[in-house]
């Protein structure tokens, strides 16, 4: 079967933003204007579960009015096929943005025209930077009271360190938002109603435009009066991308055509020289078609992203694989979900062609996978396809061993594609089935949820036998359990959320341990000498074997490593995982008969327990970046409260008429913050937080935490 849409006519894009900026609302309009659906559903109409938007179809999404998981849809616009992923803005679901950006070629970053650049817009922007994803900005909600286009552009410059380039300026704002001036064509686009089917008129940009359109607010009029300034900025910036056009402009005064400007905008966007900025109001149905035009005109096709980086087993770069149907097959699995159709593995094909029935290699795990059914997803709807080609995003049904982040490839031409990085789960809860008899069903459902979401971690408390689930935040954990109810029909209960502390060491020591046991005839013997030393924060665990002369037989070295890996999960202070340290096996001895893999594992575990205690262990706690937005009147109270929570204020930013206080606060001090904040500010302040880093817990606090853990364990094991 030949390719139906040329690779250069595909746009794989994501919509990313802070929570509530209007991503899903915009996606609904996109589906409507491209003819993919005939109605528009608004977010606030879905709470009774009778209806849902196309992309927020989960019950949890409908009820809460937020996006939880990313959903893929596709549509045609000007003969280009747009594959679009609507992502969540809530920080607890940041994994969804992370993995989407890993496989997308471009992104539309949506801003709330009132709030401007909010914390999650910043986080997502940095993620897009990490993955080198070209983007355009869309300042939405221009109809809201307090909307201010220029302020938003300014924040994009200052907070994101970007080079925003307005390609439109708004005509009017708030109730009187009428449309925009297209600075490329120098035409005014004016809507005469908010109706979804309202057409826009195209007017000349004349000096009396503001009067003609009854624009009265001084700042709105000023913007229109400055239209030539914006146009000049656009032309000058564009021409930096095209020497010939620049020359013609400078020597003959030839004004570049719309086509030349668009070509320059495309080039500059793709090489991240600047980021085009558009404006509109998705809710009032103004500006969405223009966003679609910009997606087609400025965002990359898979062919613009010439190649994908490949790595070796340890993640070190090895080369590139060209984006083309003619290359051997390679794809990245970026998402696994459990669906009514079974386990669905979403892949992005980077090169080659995949056909139904093929046998491919999972090069990450060294296992073969047989390709059964292949489907193209449209939100929750699965449409069978026979093949997938470079640039496509599809889902595979019921793969055996493939997890998020794995590479699938042609077995004769193995490559591993650059993996993705996952965020740190910082909150933990104990979980169990509501009804004891359902524990097994619960366990299996939980396993599936965790498999689908790499920002969840599951562990068993060795002493108490409790199942501990770690995640990004309280909402994340709550939603996970609730989805097990709706998706697997099993109810769970969870304990109080706890901070996911960690342990590390601060001193280098050498530990010798001899494991020796004589039971009847045969005995057990192993001796190890291990050096434990601290590593830098976030480096995890390293094991090095420096033994010489077979003092520890080669076949038993992996057992030493395994013993340490198991034991480090159960820290010596309060049973938290031990991180950021190196263990070097320097010596040991063995007995011909009494030594084996098990005795070396036991010796390593004991060496860890004894050694770490002497290496000045400390507790680490997750510290959050908290942004509290408050009216100025309460600023003193808000800051005082943050200080009492062991927080330190890093910055104060203007946020419209409010002030955003940016602070670093230990997570353990943030429980119950929302209640306190509302009380303190008569409900007028709000906050968001995200993980920043791990930091040593002050001594007095650590003592308390250790005592608490000991008490809780004693109670549970009694």
Ligand X SMILES: Nc1nc2c(ncn2[C@@H]2O[C@H](COP(=O)(O)OP(=O)(O)OP(=O)(O)O)[C@@H](O)[C@H]2O)c(=O)[nH]1
Q: How far apart are CA 617 and CA 194, in angstroms?
A: 63
* Residue 376 contacts residue 74 (beta carbons within 8 Å): yes
Angstrom distance (rounded) from CA 433 to CA 522: 44
23 near Mg ion (CB under 5 A)? yes
Given the rule CB under 6 A, which of 23-31, 370-378, 570-578, 603-611 is the region that contacts ligand X? 23-31
Q: How far is the CB of 670 from ligand X (least distance, A)?
A: 21
Q: Under 8 Å CB-to-CB from 59, ≥6 apart: which residues? A: 49, 482, 486
Piece in contact with ligand X (CB under 6 A), picked from 20-28, 226-234, 416-424, 696-704? 20-28
SS3 210: helix
CB of 22 to Mg ion, least distance (A): 8
> What is the pattern of x (binds ligand X, CB under 6 A) and - over residues 272-301?
---------xxxx-----------------
Q: Which stretch binds ligand X (CB under 6 A): 12-20, 252-260, 270-278, 292-300?
A: 12-20
Task: Find, among 192, 198, 194, 231, the residue nearest to 214 by Cα.
Answer: 192
Residue in 46, 140, 168, 480 binding ligand X, rule: CB under 6 A: 140
The dihedrals phi and psi of 515, each to the nearest 5 degrees, come to -100, 120
Asked if 24 interacts with Mg ion (CB under 5 A), we say: yes
Q: Give the binding range for ligand X (CB under 6 A) out of 85-93, 345-353, 521-529, 646-654.
A: 85-93
Report H helices in 453-511. 474-488
CB of 286 to ligand X, least distance (A): 8
Q: Name the phi and psi angles at 668, rounded to 5.
A: -60, -20
Phi first, then psi: what are they for 89, rounded to 5°?
-100, -15
- Residue 124, interface with Mg ion (CB under 5 A)? no
Q: Are 642 and 649 contacting, i.e. CB atoms less than 8 angstroms apart?
A: yes
Distance in angstroms (rounded) separating the CA atoms of residues 315 and 329: 20
66 lines the binding site for ligand X (CB under 6 A): yes
Q: What angle do CA 218, 222, 224 make, to 5 degrees?
A: 120
- The answer to whether 25 contacts Mg ion (rule: CB under 5 A) is no
Q: Which residues pair with 12 in a beta bridge?
A: 83
Give the Cβ contact number of residue 406 at 10 Å.
25
Q: b vs e for 190-221, b when ≥16 Cβ sit within 10 Å of the residue's Cβ? A: bbeeeeeeeebeebebeeebbeebebeeeebe
Mask: binding to Mg ion, 270-309, rule CB under 5 A, as x and -? ----------------------------------------
Query: Site map for ligand X, 37-56, x if CB under 6 A?
Result: -----xxx------------
Least distance to ligand X from the beta carbon of 95, Å? 14
- 141 contact, one of Mg ion, ligand X, none, CB 5-8 Å limit per kind: ligand X
Q: In angstroms, what is the minimal distance from the CB of 23 to Mg ion?
A: 5
Query: Which positions from 42 to 71 touch Mg ion by CB under 5 A, shown as an x/- string?
Result: -------------------------x----
Q: Which of 403, 481, 408 is nearest to 445 (CA)?
A: 481
Which one of ligand X, Mg ion, none interacts with residue 230, CB within 5 to 8 A by kind? none
Establish if 262 lies at the interface with ligand X (CB under 6 A): no
Q: Do residues 638 and 627 touch, judged by C-beta distance below 8 A?
A: no
Q: Out of Mg ion, ligand X, none, which partner does residue 42 contact, by CB within 5 to 8 A per kind?
A: ligand X
Residue closer to Mg ion by CB (options 97, 660) is 97
Binding residues for ligand X, rule: CB under 6 A, are 17, 19-25, 42-44, 66-67, 88-90, 140-141, 143-144, 281-284
Binding residues for Mg ion, rule: CB under 5 A, are 23-24, 67
């Amino acid at each position: 079967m030949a390719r139906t849409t040329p690779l250069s006519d595909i746009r794989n894009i994501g919509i990313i933003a802070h929570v509530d900026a209007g991503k899903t609302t915009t996606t609904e309009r996109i589906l409507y204007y491209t003819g993919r659906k005939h109605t528009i559903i608004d977010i606030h109409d879905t709470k009774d579960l009778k209806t849902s938007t196309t992309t927020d179809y989960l019950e949890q999404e409908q009820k809460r009015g937020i996006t939880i998981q990313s959903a893929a849809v596709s549509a045609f616009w000007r003969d280009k096929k747009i594959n679009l992923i609507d992502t969540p803005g809530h920080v607890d679901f940041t994994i969804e943005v992370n993995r989407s950006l890993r496989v997308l070629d471009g992104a539309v970053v949506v801003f709330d025209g009132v709030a401007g650049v909010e914390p999650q817009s910043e986080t997502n922007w940095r993620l897009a930077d990490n993955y080198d994803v070209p983007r355009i900005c869309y300042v939405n909600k221009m109809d809201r009271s307090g909307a201010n286009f220029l302020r938003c552009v300014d924040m994009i410059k200052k907070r994101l360190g970007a080079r925003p380039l307005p390609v439109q300026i708004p005509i009017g704002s708030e109730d009187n938002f009428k449309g925009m001036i297209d600075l490329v064509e120098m035409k005014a686009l004016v809507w005469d109603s908010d109706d979804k089917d309202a057409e826009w008129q195209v007017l000349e940009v004349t000096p009396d435009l503001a009067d003609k359109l009854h624009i009265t607010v001084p700042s709105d009029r000023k913007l229109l009066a400055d239209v030539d300034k914006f146009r000049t900025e656009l032309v000058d910036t564009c021409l930096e991308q095209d020497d010939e056009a620049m020359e013609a402009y400078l020597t003959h005064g030839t004004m570049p055509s719309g086509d030349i400007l668009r070509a320059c905008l495309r080039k500059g966007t793709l090489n991240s020289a600047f980021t085009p900025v558009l404006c509109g109001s998705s809710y009032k149905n103004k500006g969405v078609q223009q966003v679609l035009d910009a997606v087609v005109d400025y965002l990359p096709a898979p062919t613009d992203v010439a190649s994908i980086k490949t790595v070796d087993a340890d993640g070190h770069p090895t080369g590139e694989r060209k984006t083309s149907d003619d290359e051997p097959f390679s794809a990245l699995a970026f998402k696994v979900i459990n669906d009514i159709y079974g386990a669905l593995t979403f892949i992005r094909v980077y090169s080659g062609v995949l056909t139904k029935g093929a046998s491919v290699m999972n090069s990450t795990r060294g296992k073969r996978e047989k390709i059964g059914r292949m489907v193209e997803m449209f939100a929750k709807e699965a449409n069978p396809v026979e093949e997938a080609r470079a640039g496509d995003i599809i889902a595979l049904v019921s793969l055996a061993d493939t997890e998020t982040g794995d590479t699938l490839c042609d077995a004769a031409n193995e490559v591993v594609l650059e993996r993705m990085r996952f965020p740190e789960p910082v909150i933990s809860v104990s979980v169990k089935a509501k009804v004891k008899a359902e524990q097994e069903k619960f366990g299996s459902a939980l396993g599936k949820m965790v498999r689908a979401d790499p920002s969840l971690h599951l562990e068993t408390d060795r002493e108490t036998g409790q199942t501990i689930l770690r995640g990004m935040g309280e909402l994340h954990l709550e939603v996970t359990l609730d989805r097990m109810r709706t998706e697997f029909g099993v109810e769970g209960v969870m304990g109080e959320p706890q901070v996911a502390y960690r342990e590390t060491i601060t001193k280098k020591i050498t530990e010798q341990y001899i494991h020796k046991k004589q039971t009847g005839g045969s005995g057990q013997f192993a001796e190890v000498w291990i050096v434990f030393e601290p590593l830098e924060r976030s480096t995890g665990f390293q094991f090095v074997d420096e033994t010489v002369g077979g003092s520890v037989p080669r076949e038993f070295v992996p057992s030493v490593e395994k013993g340490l890996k198991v034991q480090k999960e159960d820290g010596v202070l309060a049973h938290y995982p031990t991180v950021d340290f190196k263990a070097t096996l320097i010596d040991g001895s063995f007995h011909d008969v009494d030594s084996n893999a098990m005795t070396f594992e036991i010796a390593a575990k004991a060496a860890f327990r004894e050694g770490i205690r002497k290496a000045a262990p400390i507790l680490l706690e997750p510290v959050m970046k908290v942004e509290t937005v408050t009216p100025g009147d309460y600023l003193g109270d808000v800051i005082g409260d943050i200080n009492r929570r062991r927080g330190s204020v890093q910055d104060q930013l203007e946020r419209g008429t409010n002030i955003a206080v940016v602070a670093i606060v230990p997570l353990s001090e943030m429980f119950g913050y929302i209640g306190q904040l509302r009380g303190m500010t008569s409900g007028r302040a709000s906050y968001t937080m995200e993980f920043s880093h791990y930091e040593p817990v002050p001594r007095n606090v650590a003592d308390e935490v250790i005592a608490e853990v000991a008490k809780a364990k004693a109670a549970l094991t009694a």
